[in-house]
Each structure stands twice: as structure tokens, then as C-alpha cells.
């Protein structure tokens, strides 16, 4: 029965993942359009959280400006859509050369993946070859998020400044106004991408490359002595994670129907860190569950609290904030992290007991 044993030893969180995906698959059948729409947005955020988990959870690179990659993907779709529909704020007759790709729907799709990848490549080249790590990496990425937000506000010629862009099409490969899948149909598009991203991450972290990445997190110098080049691996994961974030941004914009500077700024960059931290980093499940829990409770609490009374609307943030503080203080490893620790310690105990038993038996035979 070796196969069954393998299933039994499967980490607890994979079962949670399975349950989560089954839940997501059935969700539209018993929920109304509003919640289907909310959940589509949450799923796009989950892809975003997964991309950060690869970078932060597995490789130990805490990017505090991951929203730059998310937002740049989203803005590509936004600008493409504004151009396709000739939004009235567009004052140019022709797309400039650096945006020429956006004239075709497929081009916009590719641009939404490639631009974040390129940004990550560019930043990564400088930072990793310059051996910038730890808190300095975080600070530089944080500054980037601030800069990116100001940049899109200032470049109002292409981004419509602080007002943001509306994206009325809700299909993957069209920017024309009239093309619109229903919320339910688009839900499954997002779900398919989420599943794909999840499987990609799961596969990647279990390959040799994935192990090297975790090695970088644990002890980068030792890895260097062993002959690896951490910079190359870090660059690879940063670009991949950036493209995933771009994908998430693209899907989010389609779900939401608009993009504005808050999607590229520090606010979202911090939010995603909180989701991953609460869920637990370095196991994929944590990113998924953290995003789901926090986004869901945010929506729910806001509506419940402002339903009670308008004077009371602001206090949901207090409740959520207290909860987050508690989680971070009491279980710094995150919700899923604690579960895994628990399973690990039980397995360790069982193994220890088995060894002890063996010892006792052997000694028992030779008094």
C-alpha cells in the first residue's frame, strides 16, 4: 500500500487547496451575481498573492512594491481599452511607439504579461547584480510603488491621471465596448487562470529550481559556496512572479471594469503582504486562504457595519485591524503555517515513538 501511504503523508494544506478549489467551482451555483463578482475579484487577487508567495515565501525576497507589477499589467489593458473605444480624454491620434502593441487585443494581452516581466527584469538586474538584499530590497521596492503611483497620476496623457480608466469589455481578448461576458462566465475564466497559476507554482516549487530558491531563502552564502549563482535564480523568479502579478492585474481590471492609481500604489502593495502574512507564507495555501479570508471579511464587514448605521461604518476597520494584530503576534507563521507546524510535530512525534519502540524491542530481546 505504498501509494495510499503517500496520500496519507500529503501535507495537510494540499487537502485545503483541494477543498478550496471545489468550493470555488461550485460557488456560482449557489450564489448571486454580486457575490460571484466579488469572488472573481478575490480570485484575481489570489493569483497576485500567489505571485508574491513565490517571491517572498519561497525565495525570501520581501517585495513591498509588488503592486507596481500588478498595476502595470492592469494599466496596459486600461490604455488599450481606452484607445480601442476612443475615450474622450484621449488627445492623441496615434499610439506612441512604446504602446504600439496595444492596438490589437492579443497585443494588449501580451503587453500586460510582458511589461511587468520587463519591469521586474530591469529592476532585478540592478538589484541582484548589485547584491542588494534583505531590508534594502524591501525598501527599494516600496519606493518604487510610491514612484509608480505618482508616475501614473502625472502621465495623465496616457493614464487619465487620478481619475483612472474605465474598461467596459469583459472578455480576455477584446477591448471593444460591446463585448461582455456575464459575471458568471468571466468567473470561470478567472478560476481557470487561478488553477493554472496554482498548478504552475506547485510544480515549480517542487522542482530542483524550487529547492534552490528555498535554499536562497535559508542561506544564500552557503548556496554560493556550493557553486550556484543565486542572482540568476532570483532574477528568474522575480520575472516569473512579475508576469503572474501582471496577469492578476489584467484579470482584476476586467472584473472590476476600471483601473486607477490605487491599484499600482503602496496601499495595495501593503495589503497583499498582509494577506500572505496572515495566511502563512511559503506554502501557497496560505496566500490563497489569507486573501480569501481578508477580502471576504472586508467586504462583508463593510456592508454589515454601514448597514447598522452610517455613524458606525468606520469601526469595521478597527475590528479587522485588531484581528490582524492578534494573528501576527500570536502566530507569526500565519494560519496555514501553524497547521503545518502542528502536522509536522505530530509526524515527528510518531516517528520518534516508532524509533523508541524499536529500541525498546531490541533491548528487550537482550536484557
Binding site for another protein (CB under 8 A): 32-34, 37-38, 41, 88-89, 150, 153-154, 156, 160-168, 180, 256-258, 260-263, 299, 301-317, 319, 322-323, 326-327, 330-331, 335, 338-339, 341-342, 345
Shortest CB 344 distance to another protein, Å: 8
Shortest CB 109 distance to another protein, Å: 20
Shortest CB 43 distance to another protein, Å: 15
For another protein, which is the closer residue by CB, 211 or 317?
Answer: 317
Within 10 Å of residue 33's Cβ, how many Cβ atoms? 12
For another protein, which is the closer residue by CB, 214 or 258?
Answer: 258
For residues 77 and 233, is the Cβ–Cβ distance under 8 A? Answer: no
Shortest CB 193 distance to another protein, Å: 20
For another protein, which is the closer residue by CB, 243 or 339?
Answer: 339
What the block records as the C-alpha cell of 208 is 530542483
What the block records as the C-alpha cell of 362 is 531490541
- Residue among 263, 243, 241, 244 nearest 74 (CA): 263
For another protein, which is the closer residue by CB, 130 or 321?
Answer: 321
Shortest CB 83 distance to another protein, Å: 16
What the block records as the C-alpha cell of 351 is 516517528
Shortest CB 339 distance to another protein, Å: 8
For another protein, which is the closer residue by CB, 20 or 153?
Answer: 153
**β-pair partners for 170:** 180
Spell out the long-range contacts of 189-197 with Cβ–Cβ below 8 A and sequence spacing 24 or more: 189/251, 190/40, 190/43, 190/44, 190/251, 190/255, 191/24, 191/25, 191/43, 193/47, 193/247, 193/251, 194/24, 194/43, 194/44, 194/46, 194/47, 195/21, 197/47, 197/50, 197/51, 197/244, 197/247
Shortest CB 250 distance to another protein, Å: 15
CA geometry: angle 112, 113, 119, nearest 5 deg:
95
For another protein, which is the closer residue by CB, 1 or 310?
Answer: 310
CB neighbours of 123 closer than 8 A, spacing ≥ 6? 140, 141, 144, 238
For another protein, which is the closer residue by CB, 219 or 341?
Answer: 341
Amino acid at each position: 500500500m505504498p501509494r495510499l501511504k503517500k496520500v496519507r503523508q500529503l501535507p495537510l494544506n494540499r487537502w485545503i487547496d483541494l477543498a478550496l478549489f471545489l468550493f470555488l467551482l461550485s460557488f456560482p451555483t449557489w450564489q448571486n451575481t454580486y457575490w460571484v463578482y466579488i469572488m472573481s475579484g478575490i480570485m484575481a487577487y489570489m493569483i497576485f498573492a500567489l505571485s508574491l508567495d513565490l517571491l517572498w515565501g519561497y525565495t525570501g525576497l520581501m517585495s513591498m512594491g509588488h503592486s507596481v507589477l500588478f498595476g502595470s499589467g492592469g494599466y496596459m489593458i486600461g490604455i488599450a481599452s481606452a484607445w480601442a473605444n476612443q475615450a474622450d480624454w484621449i488627445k492623441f491620434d496615434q499610439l506612441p511607439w512604446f504602446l504600439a502593441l496595444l492596438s490589437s487585443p492579443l497585443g494588449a494581452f501580451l503587453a500586460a504579461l510582458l511589461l511587468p516581466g520587463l519591469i521586474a527584469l530591469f529592476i532585478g538586474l540592478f538589484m541582484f547584480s548589485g547584491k542588494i538584499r534583505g531590508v534594502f530590497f524591501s525598501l527599494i521596492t516600496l519606493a518604487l510603488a510610491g514612484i509608480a503611483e505618482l508616475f501614473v497620476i502625472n502621465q495623465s496623457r496616457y493614464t487619465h491621471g487620478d481619475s483612472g480608466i474605465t474598461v467596459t469589455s469583459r472578455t480576455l481578448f477584446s477591448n471593444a465596448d460591446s463585448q461582455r461576458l456575464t459575471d458568471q462566465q468571466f468567473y470561470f475564466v478567472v478560476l481557470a487562470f487561478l488553477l493554472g497559476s496554482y498548478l504552475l507554482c506547485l510544480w515549480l516549487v517542487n522542482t530542483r529550481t524550487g529547492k534552490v530558491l528555498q535554499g536562497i531563502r535559508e542561506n544564500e552564502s552557503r548556496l554560493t559556496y556550493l557553486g550556484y549563482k543565486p542572482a540568476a535564480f532570483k532574477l528568474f523568479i522575480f520575472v516569473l512572479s512579475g508576469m503572474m502579478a501582471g496577469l492578476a492585474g489584467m484579470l482584476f481590471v476586467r472584473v472590476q471594469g476600471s483601473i486607477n492609481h490605487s491599484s499600482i500604489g503602496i496601499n495595495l502593495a501593503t495589503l497583499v503582504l498582509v494577506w500572505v502574512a496572515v495566511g502563512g507564507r511559503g506554502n501557497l495555501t496560505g496566500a490563497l486562504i489569507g486573501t480569501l479570508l481578508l477580502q471576504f471579511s472586508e467586504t462583508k464587514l463593510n456592508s454589515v457595519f454601514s448597514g447598522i448605521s452610517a455613524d458606525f461604518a468606520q469601526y469595521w476597520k478597527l475590528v479587522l485591524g485588531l484581528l490582524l494584530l492578534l494573528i501576527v503576534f500570536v502566530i507569526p507563521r500565519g494560519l496555514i503555517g501553524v497547521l503545518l507546524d502542528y502536522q509536522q510535530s505530530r509526524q515527528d512525534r510518531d516517528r520518534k515513538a516508532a524509533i523508541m519502540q524499536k529500541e525498546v524491542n531490541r533491548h528487550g530481546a537482550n536484557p
